[in-house]
Structure 1
Amino acid sequence: MLDENADVELLDLLDPMRAPLLRSILMETLADRFMRQIAFALFQRMRHSVQVLSCIQNVISHESAMSALPEVMLAGISELTPLRGRMLLAIDGDLIGAMVDAMCGATAAHPFERYELSALETRVGKQMIDLAFATITDTFAPVVPMQLEALAYENATGMLAIADGQDWMIAVTGIFETELGSGTIRVIVPYSAFETLEAKIATQSGLLGGRGPDQNWTSGIELLADTTRLALSFELARAEVPLAVFQALQAGDVLPFTLWPHAVAVSGGVDLFLADYGQQDGYVCCRVRAESDEEESEMSEQTERVTGAEKLVETERVELERLQARAGGAPAITAKAVLDRVQVAVTVELGRTHITVKDLRALRHGQILQLDQMIGEPLAIYANGQKLAYGEVVAVANDRYGVRVTALTEDVPAEEEPAP
């Protein structure tokens, strides 16, 4: 085990500031919409075709988002009130240049390498940023009322920091194409600003699949769970029997343990409750019994009691013989006495039934459950969960009852075997 270092800081890997969702469903839903609205607004100004080739959204660090901005661009910064943080909107210089060319009446593109924006391009770029902010405000209006307005315009990336370098940001990049050129518009917002809003919307509607609970999914799972049918078996006895005794069982033998005074309802290997057993309308039935401290003590004593079956095998110290090589590599070992003492879990079942989870939760003391066992049918005997034989109840000493094996399952024809 590694020694603990007191100077080591524990990290919460589920902290959204360190390990956010790989995607923001809210921004993914709305980003494509407001990018297309921006394209339509630019078309109205340019009177030239403007198309959105693609809209890419991812979650990256603030440092990575800043380094991915174009070298020549104009950006605007706006408060996200009532959300926390600021929004950065950057427009590629090539797209601004295409806008200026269109407004000046150009009919063909004249590509050249751009190093900076002219005064006219800067002025038009500011108008494009204001137009984009207004479009985004309208798109988010049904979700959250924001009034996005540019607080400052910058063309140097060193002046555009809106968060710490390692903070997670949602970056949305729209790639636009016009007849006079192409370029990008990038929107960058803090991840933490939209996480709270997304969780709130997801909680209320269950439509976005965010961190909040999806009510539709939750209710659907609850309905499915309530209608799921469980196999409920009622056991009358349970004991560990040595393999030697188990292998010697034959029809007519009485199992080396007695029946419990009450049946135990079992589902999925879990003991659920005690039940009285009897008959009704020709079927074996069980009545849910209220547990008490006395009954729990009685059940614990019954299930943990060491039966006399183990005494049938004489205890002796057994040593393994020394192994010697033989032709064909067969080991020379005789350990039958050891194997004979391996314990086999033997269970006697009164019968079974199926019940939905909803009905199981609604069970009350005194309620009667009808089993699949008809009066007069033999009881099923299981060994390690596999059906071994059938038996009948017989009286033994001291007002106790046991089970006598009537037939092994392999001796019962399939058509005569009771239905499971």
Structure 2
Amino acid sequence: MLEDQMEAEALDLLDPMRAPQLRSLLMENLSDRFMRQIAFALFQRMRHSVQLLSCINNVISHEAAMSSLPEVMLAGISELAPLRGRMLLAIDGDLIGAVVDALCGATTAQPFERYELSMLETRIGKQMIDLSLSTIAETLNPLAQLDLTPIAYENATGMLAIADGQDWMIAVTGIFETALGSGTIKLIAPYAGFEPLEAKVASQSGLLGGRGEDTGWITAIESLAETTQVDLRFEVARAVVPLAVFEGVTTGSILPLSLWPEAVAVSGEVDLFWADYGQDSGHVCCRVKAMDEEGDASMSEQKTRIGVADRLAEPERIELERIQGQPRGVPVLTARNVLDKVQVALSVELGRTQIAVKDLRALRHGQILALDQAVGDPLTIFANGQKMAYGEVVAVANDRYGVRVTALVEDAEQESGGAA
């Protein structure tokens, strides 16, 4: 059971002690996307199949990142402005060679030990680097507008230092395959360099303790509020009667209840607000009434709802007692006694309507809602939530109004079926 009062403390789910920081998650989500975009861009430019087999993300030291580069490769270095630091993108010599072979018309792979890149491979490799960095910039553009134009090309790992040896780096490795061979494209960027981007995303989404609004979530909620419809029904009377009384209800009977001077709007099994009822332009209408601080209490006084126990007893194993015969002199149990104890909930419905969540939220005192009931149509009578009969308003004693049954649902359906 939930306690009535509980002390709650805000929990930062992205605390470094509990989960990776946002920039790691951000790069993990983006890296697969821009690696696939790189494969597609290479296919468009080279007109040869380039497929991404897998994408691997790591946060490692700069020293480990440099030692993981292939021996034969070509790398491009670019500034991360307006972020901090530099980014390195290295393409495996085997992948460059496979692309060059395909461009030269080769149809089968010729595996051999590669020690360096030829001038043609270097030129094509630079084009591949430019294309890859441009694709990454386009992918990151919604978050930060980066100019990733290479400031240098290098093929010696000793010339590729972009940070201190023990600085943490984000390393993304894409494994690509072509018709003539496979290879890798490795992206290395300083972990600290993406801190401004992390702060920007956090402030917009409210993550990492930020208090900014999540605009995407708000937009989605507003869209749902405009399109989601809430069914409202307006009830004007309720009563709980014994089953024996209910069984005696026939056409012409006056139900043992009185009409309320106001209707209650109900959604599902929840009473929402009171409303005056009348007619306008040939339809039954309801005018919303403002709820005061004691509105809920007064509503509870005029209606009956089935409650649930506050607590459930602990289960206890019990055994059935041996049943004894009926002793002499005990009153005989009659059907009437049983039926008097069975209760039936009656309700009288004025009409129904649908309203968008957005409009329901904006309801004001005095606003008029048109129902699906035309003036002169009978009221609908429900028993335990099931449509039972139709009725009309009649005057009873002491300036009160009641409901007289005009037709049972089954009879009305038979008459409408016969007329058709």
Query: Could you tell me the TM-score, scaled by structure 1's length?
Result: 0.60
Query: 1:349: how far off?
Result: 0.5
Letter in 2 for 1:298: S
Query: 1:382: how far off?
Result: 1.3
Return the alpha-carbon distance in structure 1 between the equivalents of residues 93 and 299 of structure 2. 82
Query: 1:132: how far off?
Result: 4.5
1:152-167 map, 5 Å? none
For the Cα contact (< 8 Å) 2:169–2:188, is it kept in 1?
no
Q: Is 2:39 the partner of 1:32?
A: yes
Q: Taking structure 1 as reference, are residues 10 and 91 closer, same or farther at Cα in structure 2, changes over 3 Å only?
A: closer
Q: Taking structure 1 as reference, are residues 393 and 184 closer, same or farther at Cα in structure 2, changes over 3 Å only?
A: same
Equivalent residue, structure 2, for 1:276: 276
Query: 1:165: how far off?
Result: 12
Equivalent residue, structure 2, for 1:83: 83
Letter in 2 for 1:274: W
1:338-417 map, 5 Å? 341=341, 343-357=343-357, 359-361=359-361, 363-416=363-416
Range with bigger deviation, 122-131 or 401-410: 122-131
Q: Taking structure 1 as reference, are residues 163 and 242 closer, same or farther at Cα in structure 2, changes over 3 Å only?
A: farther
For the Cα contact (< 8 Å) 2:23–2:197, is it kept in 1?
no
Q: Is 2:209 the partner of 1:238?
A: no
Match of 1:413, SS state, is: helix
Equivalent residue, structure 2, for 1:173: 175
Equivalent residue, structure 2, for 1:184: 183
Q: Taking structure 1 as reference, are residues 53 and 298 closer, same or farther at Cα in structure 2, changes over 3 Å only?
A: closer
Return the alpha-carbon distance in structure 1 between the equivalents of residues 136 and 123 of structure 2. 20
Equivalent residue, structure 2, for 1:300: 300
For the Cα contact (< 8 Å) 2:394–2:401, is it kept in 1?
yes
Match of 1:237, SS state, is: strand
For the Cα contact (< 8 Å) 1:62–1:165, is it kept in 2?
no
Return the alpha-carbon distance in structure 2 between the equivalents of residues 373 and 101 of structure 1. 77
Match of 1:301, SS state, is: helix
Return the alpha-carbon distance in structure 1 between the equivalents of residues 99 and 283 of structure 2. 87
Equivalent residue, structure 2, for 1:58: 55
Alpha-carbon displacement from aligned partner over 1:219-267 (angstroms, at most 9, x marks no partner): 7x74675355543321112344454544454444443433222101223
Match of 1:255, SS state, is: coil
Return the alpha-carbon distance in structure 2 between the equivalents of residues 370 and 101 of structure 1. 74
Q: Taking structure 1 as reference, are residues 55 and 255 closer, same or farther at Cα in structure 2, changes over 3 Å only?
A: same
Equivalent residue, structure 2, for 1:285: 285
Q: Taking structure 1 as reference, are residues 250 and 257 closer, same or farther at Cα in structure 2, changes over 3 Å only?
A: same
Return the alpha-carbon distance in structure 2 between the equivalents of residues 69 and 177 of structure 1. 25
Equivalent residue, structure 2, for 1:265: 265
1:110-129 map, 5 Å? 111-113=111-113, 117=115, 121=117
Query: 1:380: how far off?
Result: 0.6
Query: 1:357: how far off?
Result: 4.8
For the Cα contact (< 8 Å) 1:233–1:267, is it kept in 2?
yes
Q: Any unmatched runs of 5+ in structure 2? A: 1-14, 205-213, 307-319, 325-333
Letter in 1 for 2:73: L
For the Cα contact (< 8 Å) 1:288–1:365, is it kept in 2?
yes
Q: Taking structure 1 as reference, are residues 185 and 280 closer, same or farther at Cα in structure 2, changes over 3 Å only?
A: closer
Q: Any unmatched runs of 5+ in structure 1? A: 1-8, 41-49, 204-211, 307-319, 325-333
Query: Could you tell me the TM-score, scaled by structure 2's length?
Result: 0.60
